[in-house]
Structure 1
Amino acid sequence: MDRRGKDTWTVFKIMGEFVEGFETLRECWPSVSVFGGARVKRGNRYYRDAIYIGNALSKAGFTVITGGGPGIMEAANEGAKRGPSDSVGLNIRLPFEQDPNPHTDKLVNFNYFFARKVMFVKYACGVVGMPGGFGTMDELFEALTLIQTKKIEPTPVVFYGSEYWAGLIDWIKDRMIEDRMISKRDLKLFRVTDDRDEVVSIMVKHLKHLKKSGESNGHSDRETP
């Protein structure tokens, strides 16, 4: 197959991932996406906190969506699985094979990061950033960029673990704001907390606001960003 044929076939594969994602997640509102590192081991305090947060979100009526892999993702799915709401994994196929964790009720596999990231934000009425690496940064800043540029409506983004995020937050303040790359008001796009219950209360408060404002069908009707 020549390059043109391969590119055309790629278009159909991308379409297939969007269709499967839409079909799987359409009924998963309200949901919260939880991002975090794959390398965090069981026994780590952030792993334990992710289990707690996943379970508390599930008990509060939220579907919990993660990247479907190990580490923080597995912990949040494990906590959600223990609760009454769905536990969802959006797994990415990698050359070194990230196996999906066993704690999901619904699993969608992706070859393309960009298609996967659309699903993280399209159906979420909140985002939680746990400690993680480049992938976690990518997902969090994708969400912040979409909110900042008004591609999606305001959505709570919570950075969990002030000690972990302190250097990044200082850099945002000392460099990005000082050099006028972003505005001071952009600091209001996210919250930082060490309180597991506050994470959940922020999401519950936002959901109440959505329902009060008439968005009872939730973000399942949100335009694809």
Structure 2
Amino acid sequence: MEHSQRPVSARVSAAPVGGRSLPEVRYPRAQTLASGPPREVEDRTTWARLLRAPEPLHALRLQGLDLSADRDLLLARDDLSDLVVLGGVLDEEVQEHLREHGAIIFPALPHAPVDPYRARLYTPQELYAGLEEEGYASTVDARAYRWFADAEVRHDAYVTVLRAIHDDAMSDALSSRVEGRRVVGVMGGHALRRGSEGFAAAALLGHRVAGTGAVVLTGGGPGAMEAANLGAWAPDEVVLADALEDLARVPDFAPNIGAWAESALALRRDAPGEWPGRLRSLGIPTWYYGHEPPNAFAQLVAKFFSNALREDLLLAHSRDGLVVLPGAAGTVQEIFQMATRLYYEVDATDRPLTPVVLVGRRHWTEELPVWGLLQALGEDRRMRKALFLVDTVDEAAAVVAGG
């Protein structure tokens, strides 16, 4: 082979970079938004049916079940290879029998602040249990953050596995809750303070979107996220206006998370804002940002240890629209994560592209001018028609209103 006499640096080090974009390789991407596979057993009814069926039990995953009442039936079976028991309750004789026949048992960690094997989402009341009596530091939420941040535990392989199992269970529970529903994500800055016009506008947006029948999905934290969950919670604008006035007395979660959370929990206890039987909003926060507490207005909370997984699921589940209120670096990151999904048409196998609505022309064209870059990315692509720039929350709600 004849070699060039000129070094690479002489040819390219001073040459301008860029020019015509090259054609890209398109590839399918596996999506995992459906609820868990049939072999994951999370409730007693399903387990009782499988235990009494003639089919072998091997390869099932039993998640957080009390097996103490099934002792005799389990001891009588030997079709247990690759059966995985994740937590739950079972005696030592049953454990030994299961292991002898090829089952794998993950015991619970007694000192863990959360159940790694739980098969359901949290409520705000669960995460803040003990707040009134002993303060925020005693709550499940605060203890889980300390567990996550503890330097000694952080490098414990078993604890790392438990966190991953917890997050997988959260993912399954979240998918089950939103399956078959219209879901609209609302993003925005965590620094938006109660009592501000921006907070009221974000709450009105959540109220408008929930009023269309969609589930409002947020990052589950303070600021714009709390406002959107609050708006979805309120049954009408009278209740919403009163709630906004009450909450303004504790405008921020710093320096007192307890007072901030308690003001919201008290409002939920006392105001006629609950909607039994109707899922209106969800929050998806993370203990990675444990200094940002979860807001108390999401009806259900999928809280994760992994922020990367949480961010991906937050955007992937916002199938019917993503509304982005003004924010800073974290919000910009979410915009471009969603732009990547649109650019490569990750979610477009059997449905239209998700509409992405940026609210606040000046913010997104001058203060943080991402709009121009989004337009450039969308040039000659389907994503261009899925991008919207508006000024008001009413305009944004109209874009994602659905049929």
Give the distance between the partners of 1:39 and 1:52, measured in 2 at CA.
18
Find 2:311's aligned residue among 98, 117, 121.
Answer: 117
Give the distance between the partners of 2:359 and 2:339, measured in 1 at CA.
15
Counterpart position of 1:88: 282
Give the distance between the partners of 1:171 and 1:200, measured in 2 at CA.
22
Counterpart position of 2:205: 53
Find 1:98's aligned residue among 276, 292, 296.
Answer: 292
Counterpart position of 2:364: 165
Counterpart position of 1:24: 174
Q: 1:81/1:25 Cα in 2 relative to 1: closer, same or farther (>3 Å)?
A: farther
SS at match of 2:345: coil
Q: Of the two, which has the highest radius of gyration?
A: 2
Unaligned runs of 5+ in 2: 1-154, 236-274
Q: Deviations over 1:185-207 (max 9, x none)?
A: 354341110132221221123xx
Q: 1:58/1:96 Cα in 2 relative to 1: closer, same or farther (>3 Å)?
A: closer
Q: Does 1:71 align with 2:223?
A: yes
Counterpart position of 2:160: 10
Q: Does 1:197 align with 2:391?
A: no
- How far did residue 38 of structure 1 move? 0.5
Contact 1:162–1:193 (8 Å) recurs in 2: yes
User: Could you say what the CA RMSD is over the residues aligned between the two structures, in angstroms?
Assistant: 2.6
Mapping for residues 172-211 of structure 1, pairs under 5 Å: 172=373, 177=376, 182-185=377-380, 187-205=384-402, 208=403
- Percentage of matched positions with identical amino acids: 26
Contact 1:127–1:157 (8 Å) recurs in 2: yes
Higher strand share: 1
Give the distance between the partners of 1:170 and 1:117, measured in 2 at CA.
21
Counterpart amino acid of residue 166 in structure 1: T
Alignment length (residue pairs): 198
Counterpart position of 1:62: 214
SS at match of 2:365: helix
Give the distance between the partners of 1:27 and 1:19, measured in 2 at CA.
12
Counterpart amino acid of residue 39 in structure 1: A
**Structure having greater relative contact order (Cα 8 Å, sep ≥ 6):** 1
Give the distance between the partners of 1:127 and 1:170, measured in 2 at CA.
15
- How far did residue 114 of structure 1 move? 1.5
Contact 1:93–1:111 (8 Å) recurs in 2: yes
Counterpart amino acid of residue 201 in structure 1: A
Contact 1:92–1:111 (8 Å) recurs in 2: yes
Between 1:146-155 and 1:22-31, the stretch displaced more is 22-31
- How far did residue 39 of structure 1 move? 0.6
Counterpart amino acid of residue 92 in structure 1: T
Give the distance between the partners of 1:192 and 1:11, measured in 2 at CA.
42
Give the distance between the partners of 1:66 and 1:95, measured in 2 at CA.
15
Counterpart position of 1:212: none
Counterpart amino acid of residue 194 in structure 2: R
Q: TM-score, normalised by structure 2?
A: 0.45
Contact 1:14–1:115 (8 Å) recurs in 2: no
Counterpart position of 2:355: 156
Between 1:78-87 and 1:96-105, the stretch displaced more is 78-87
- How far did residue 6 of structure 1 move? 4.9
Give the distance between the partners of 1:158 and 1:183, measured in 2 at CA.
14
Contact 2:288–2:307 (8 Å) recurs in 1: no
Q: Which runs of 4+ in 1 moved over 6 A?
A: none
Between 1:85-94 and 1:16-25, the stretch displaced more is 16-25
Q: 1:202/1:170 Cα in 2 relative to 1: closer, same or farther (>3 Å)?
A: closer
Find 2:342's aligned residue among 109, 132, 147.
Answer: 147
Give the distance between the partners of 2:346 and 2:290, measured in 1 at CA.
33
Q: 1:7/1:158 Cα in 2 relative to 1: closer, same or farther (>3 Å)?
A: farther
Counterpart amino acid of residue 129 in structure 1: V
